[in-house]
Structure 1
Amino acid sequence: MKIPENIRREHILNAIQKIREDGVPDHAQSSTYDVVYEEERFPPKLVMAYANIFANGEELDRRNFEGGRGTECFRILEENGFRIVEKKKYQLQTKFDVEKLKEDLRKTGLLLEDRLLNRFVTALLAKPFVILTGLAGAGKTKLAQVFAQWICEKAEQMCIVPVGADWTNREALLGYPNALNEGEYVLPENGVLNLLIEANKPENAGKPYFLILDEMNLSHVERYFADFLSVMESQDRIPLHPETEIWKGCKVPGQVGLPANLFIVGTVNIDETTYMFSPKVLDRANVIEFRVTSEEMKRFLEHKTPIDLNNIRGKGAGMGKAFVEMAENRKWQLKENKNLTDTLLDFFNKLKKVGAEFGYRSAGEIYVFVAIANQLIPDWPENEVIDAVIMQKLLPKLHGSQRKLEGALRTLGELCLKEGQDIEDYFVKDKVIEKVKYPLSLDKLVRMYKGVGNNGFVSYAEA
């Protein structure tokens, strides 16, 4: 079959845009070469097949023409200014290296603190559901996006979904059976269900997949996300449609699970348009707060480094399998750690007085987090690791009135100090928080204390 000679650059660009929007169909991937455009890679024969739609009104049958060096397909692409390269051969690494992530991120111009990256990566491995909260515009969504781009081989392994204020049930994420045509399933346009289906395929078990829910509290999380929250703990599967005879021809399976290679990241902004999380949600996640220090803002204003994420795509893909294997490991063993045990018991007893104590699940996840941190980042100081788990797993459920919380916040603050330090220096005299036992948690408790004093009510997310 001869490829029409009237295919021009604009037709090829339209084809690339179509692939970006629709994704690459099954069995359309190239095995040897890619067309490169704006640092993204596309299957050459698929590009040519789609380009003919815009040039001549129909898609070319890829079985009827050849791809490869010296072929008509490649000649037309190169004559129109497109570069064709051999496919990346990602070298699998047996160990996930967080230092390589930090090194590659620095080259993008993103200002992300090493300790924040330590917490984010370790949290994902300990429990693949992380909520990023804090200052708007501080880089919450960008962190989730750039990490997924770094560790994923293909763009199809990531799905970013802006949550709608009108989401009242699961249909926005999982679609629904067509009530007017039994045997037909209506897929959500945002691609979430497709991502879940791909992640569940046995051949993809070693590849990480990321679902990023942007502003996930713009609607009630407990309504649209209920199936996900339930299956996270039960390890069951989410039913989609009846598995009867009439549904046998449907491409959507009757049930879908949340496999160990699926990582869910939600971003949260707090204002008058959003909803607070229930303990059910907070108990199933690691909550990481974003703050911008004056030193970080100064560095940003002085350097104004342009952000370029193109160079980071796929740089960590060789470690994707190792990352998934770490996340799948359910046998993390933590050496006896009296400091951690005593600290957790102290916080449990104080939190219990205000009805915010933690259960066995949270305690177990904290031990997994610390065990992973010890292996992944051996030089991460113990008190910094414990500080991180207090901040991410124990404090997020704190909310209430001044009468309920004021005394408890001071008592919890005292647990963050070293022997001989006075809580009044931080809660009343505004002393700079440094050289305390758990500075991250103390800073949060001080902000909550001031918030409850000023407003009569406070929550973790609002302080």
Structure 2
Amino acid sequence: MSRFCGDVDAEPVLSAAAHWKKSCLLSDGSALSGQALWTPACIEEIDKYFVQRPDEGAGNFQDKLEQQLAPVSPEAKMLAAEMMWAMYLCPSSLTASHKRETVQTLWARSGKPLPSSSEQWLSDAVLSGVGSAGPGFNQNQWRELAFCVAFASRLKAEPEQRRQALLNDPWKFDEWITQLPDGKARQLRHMVLYLLFPDEFERIFGKTDRRAVLRHYTGRPNREIDKLSPDAIDRELQNIRTRLEQQHGTTQLDYYIQPLRDEWRVDTFSAATEEVTPANVLAALEEIDRDGVPASAASMAYDLVYKAKRYPPKYVLSLAVKHATGEPLDREQFSGGEKSPAFRLLRRLGFNILLKDDTAAGDGGESPIAALMDGFLAQAREGTDLSTQGYPGEYRGLQVKVSFGKGNFARIPWIAFLAEGQTVPLGIYPVLLYYKAQEQLLLCYGVSEENRPKAAWEESHMNRTVEQWFRERGLGRPDRYGSSYVAAAWDTSKHLPLPELEAALDGVIDEYHRTLKGTSPDDAEKLAVKVDIQAAINSFSAALRAARVDFGTRHNELAAAFVCSLLAKPFVILTGLSGSGKTQIAVRFGEWLGEGRLHVAAVRPDWTGSEALFGYEDALRPKSADGRAAWVVPAPLAFILRAYEDPDHPYLLVLDEMNLAHVERYFADVLSGMESGLDCLPNLELDAGTWRMKKGLETSIPFPPNLYIVGTVNVDETTYMFSPKVLDRANTFEFRVSTQDLVAQRHKPTNAQPGEMELVRGLLELSRSGSDAPEEPLNALAARLRTLHAFLSRHHFEFGHRVFQEALRFGGFGLAAGFPDVNSILDRIVMQKVLPRLHGSRRRLELPLLGLARFCTQLPEVIESDKELSSMLEALTGSNGPAQLPISYDKVRRMLYALQVNQFASYTE
């Protein structure tokens, strides 16, 4: 049964497809409104102004589409929005929010509001997609829309009886749609077949994958497969499915899910690249020269070098396949690297691939940057000649501007690399600054001094200004250019490592091109932020329940407290019974943050030092050619470095069974880095498969502020206690299971769906900026905390400024999140920040716990003397009456009971 998609819930999409078929294809109605939109007249308008008048000029697809459709009627504009909606039902390579925004924007151009009834068809469940369409669909949406127009026009031209017959017979419909113009090339053809007949046609939308599946399971060579029409391939795929279902004894099979996935994917690369020729590669290089390289396609370690220009090899090959077959090869389906089939193919076709730190361009000559620097430094040191003649005027598409001063020799000669529209007085640009007096050469993300530039470097590059760099090294203040940002630096009194310099410069130039190229719709979405803590918490709470993780009557309150705690301080400890949901809430939150933003590390008893999280230098592996040592990088460190490189999104590291080792031994550097903000992590990069220090940059970087850490704790004879140093820096939760939560209908938890990315990024914005809670309730909370502090000080359990400020910060988030009152927030603070620090003998704990019991029941302004408290033990421990702070009071009573029975108590039971 081809409708099976594994963990992907296809039913909302298929329900929308059935609605589309009934309302729009069998009749002339509308998917999103009650109007008649899918009419021959409206379709003809779109054909006339969009299909027949293509706009091949600059600009993105959506902007040009809106301009092309400006003359059409409101109904035709609404129809165009619905056509995009239908096109977006299958692809999962575009986000639901991006699809929804596109449809809503197009509809808005009609001047008519979208009816409220359309919300169900624009939901995330409907627009999440069922399979990747690959880069071909995303890059050719205008062609797919033109095919959609042709499909609708031809279908409406059929007599009604014939149209109904086609839409009820999958194989007749398959033959019919294949005969449409461009019907053999468009991915939308395969999507429409799956949407209308999901039990007969596969969710394989790319030509490359269809050929690879057929080649693997039939053994046919490509030359035979190329002769097959798309509908013939469809029949072959169904025959293969029938055979596989019999072989595996189940209909629950999908080509993108094990056990089938790895069976055929080995053939994908060879099938896709069989027809690639050197001419196709040259066509790909011309396309890159014309259109540039998308940020996501930049190479990390290698470049294809052609005529002294550098190109990302995988992207080149992907485009070369497009020029050979009509469809680009998805870069996620093949790997790069020295021994990869991709690199072997490109070299066999006559192209040179080099490491980024290899300056040779294949002809044995000196690299252009080496020649540039030799002349520049010699002239700068001589300090007499202001001429800049003879220097290259262009490098990697940028104007090279060299300056030694005007009239008088400058104290800081420089080389700037300028894009069109950017100047040194007004703009941003990569720049090499030579501070002669200090003998320092700085590669910088340059920023104009005289005028504020309209463009801006990404925040991730704005870590250290030239002025800060000078101050940190005791060099005083720089004469000029103090506001630019340092990317790398070299001591010119020593040998200058030109390969390292060139690689670092190329890296900054890559960032420069990406910055100025502007943002695609997907990139724009990455930057969109929706700051709404209640909406975010509600979304996470619903995702928990949808993943079959339900905490009963306290579910919403627990989800809110958990999120607010992470916002207040990105370190949370979860204690409690095994199987009570500790790990579930943490893991599901990580999944809700988005794909790839969760890492679960199982703590081992042999974690005895910081190397368990921060790695260590690998003395057994050889150093690189430029002297950089190899580094052993454990999985948690690789994840932390990934979070550092993506500062706009939150990440979650879960340390499972955190106290199986001495926490202070392996976690002290993390706590210090989180607290101080100072550099503590090794600044590493993957270089040809080996982790090494980044070239020419600082050796350490600060702990990423966008990383949340959650530790789970189990208590038995094999585990270790936490010190106050650790507990002071965390919010600690206790997980218990009430009797009423034990229901027979419990199901095994499933993965949580990612949250709306704008909301997820909004949480990160909140954690950076804080809440806008009113002062009055926070003042009341502060007064209660001071009362509590005064009492705890009598018994040497007082808390410090950090706990006080973090408690108020939690309170601000709690108020914004909708906690009912200050007392409910205070209840959580006592439970999460105060009680976890209490452990010891009865003599040490009894009076403090009695005072806390009084505080939790009545919230007095002053807690009674110790003598008066001693007489209250029986009354307080035996009372089940209402308390002002019920969660904390219940915990205090249990700790008092443990004191009576065991003469010792702690937060963890």
Q: TM-score, normalized by length of structure 1?
A: 0.76
Q: Does the CA contact (< 8 Å) of 1:177 and 1:241 recur in 2? A: no
User: 2:547, 2:693 → 1: CA distance?
Assistant: 47
User: 2:874, 2:774 → 1: CA distance?
Assistant: 35
User: 1:16, 1:318 → 2: CA distance?
Assistant: 34
**Residue in 2 that maps onto 1:107:** 546
Relative to structure 1, is the Cα distance of residues 419 and 276 closer, same or farther in structure 2, using a 3 angstrom cutoff? closer
User: 2:695, 2:344 → 1: CA distance?
Assistant: 25
**Residue in 2 that maps onto 1:200:** 644
Counterpart residue identity of residue 341, structure 1: A
**Residue in 2 that maps onto 1:72:** none
**Residue in 1 that maps onto 2:892:** 445
Q: Does the CA contact (< 8 Å) of 1:206 and 1:320 recur in 2? A: no
Task: State the number of aligned residues.
Answer: 400
**Residue in 2 that maps onto 1:302:** 744
Q: Which runs of 5+ in 1 are unaligned?
A: 18-23, 31-42, 65-86
Q: Does the CA contact (< 8 Å) of 2:823 and 2:884 recur in 1? A: yes
Residue 290 (structure 1) aligned with residue 732 (structure 2) = no
Q: Does the CA contact (< 8 Å) of 1:178 and 1:186 recur in 2? A: yes
Q: TM-score, normalized by length of structure 2?
A: 0.40
**Residue in 2 that maps onto 1:71:** none
Counterpart residue identity of residue 641, structure 2: I
Larger mean CA deviation between 326-335 and 357-366 belongs to 326-335
Give the aligned CA root-mean-square deviation in angstroms: 3.6
User: 1:271, 1:15 → 2: CA distance?
Assistant: 48
**Residue in 2 that maps onto 1:160:** 600
| Alignment match of 1:389 (pick from 796, 805, 829) | 829
Q: Which has the higher contact order (CA 8 A, sep 6+)?
A: 1
Larger mean CA deviation between 400-409 and 342-351 belongs to 342-351
| Alignment match of 2:530 (pick from 61, 82, 93) | 93
Deviation at 1:450, TM superposition (A): 1.0
State percent identity of aligned pairs: 32
Q: Deviations over 1:362-411 (max 9, x none)?
A: 1000111101111122x533211110011111111101111111122111
Q: Does the CA contact (< 8 Å) of 2:531 and 2:765 recur in 1? A: no
Larger mean CA deviation between 172-181 and 117-126 belongs to 172-181
Q: Does the CA contact (< 8 Å) of 2:544 and 2:585 recur in 1? A: no
Deviation at 1:199, TM superposition (A): 1.6
Secondary structure at the residue paired with 1:344? helix
User: 1:44, 1:111 → 2: CA distance?
Assistant: 42
**Residue in 2 that maps onto 1:20:** none
Q: Deviations over 1:267-316 (max 9, x none)?
A: 1111111111111101111111111112212xxx232244332xx32134
**Residue in 2 that maps onto 1:272:** 717
User: 2:696, 2:901 → 1: CA distance?
Assistant: 56
Residue 188 (structure 1) aligned with residue 630 (structure 2) = no
**Residue in 1 that maps onto 2:433:** none
Residue 211 (structure 1) aligned with residue 653 (structure 2) = yes
Relative to structure 1, is the Cα distance of residues 419 and 269 closer, same or farther in structure 2, using a 3 angstrom cutoff? closer
Deviation at 1:354, TM superposition (A): 2.7
Q: Does the CA contact (< 8 Å) of 1:123 and 1:130 recur in 2? A: yes
Relative to structure 1, is the Cα distance of residues 413 and 44 closer, same or farther in structure 2, using a 3 angstrom cutoff? farther
User: 1:185, 1:397 → 2: CA distance?
Assistant: 41
Q: Does the CA contact (< 8 Å) of 2:574 and 2:582 recur in 1? A: yes
Counterpart residue identity of residue 385, structure 1: I
**Residue in 2 that maps onto 1:45:** 330
User: 2:792, 2:841 → 1: CA distance?
Assistant: 15
Counterpart residue identity of residue 435, structure 1: P
User: 2:264, 2:664 → 1: CA distance?
Assistant: 40
Secondary structure at the residue paired with 1:417? helix
User: 2:547, 2:664 → 1: CA distance?
Assistant: 36
Relative to structure 1, is the Cα distance of residues 335 and 177 closer, same or farther in structure 2, using a 3 angstrom cutoff? same
User: 2:343, 2:703 → 1: CA distance?
Assistant: 36
Q: Larger radius of gyration, structure 1 or 2?
A: 2
| Alignment match of 1:344 (pick from 785, 790, 794) | 785
Q: For 1:205-284, what aligned pairs fall within 5 Å after superposition? A: 205-240=647-682, 254-284=699-729
Deviation at 1:332, TM superposition (A): 5.7
Deviation at 1:234, TM superposition (A): 0.9
User: 2:682, 2:748 → 1: CA distance?
Assistant: 44
Deviation at 1:62, TM superposition (A): 11
Q: Does the CA contact (< 8 Å) of 1:164 and 1:218 recur in 2? A: yes
User: 1:322, 1:241 → 2: CA distance?
Assistant: 27
Secondary structure at the residue paired with 2:605? coil
| Alignment match of 1:13 (pick from 258, 262, 272) | 262
Q: Which runs of 5+ in 2 are unaligned?
A: 1-207, 218-254, 267-295, 301-313, 316-327, 347-521, 686-691, 861-870
Residue 459 (structure 1) aligned with residue 896 (structure 2) = no
Residue 362 (structure 1) aligned with residue 803 (structure 2) = yes
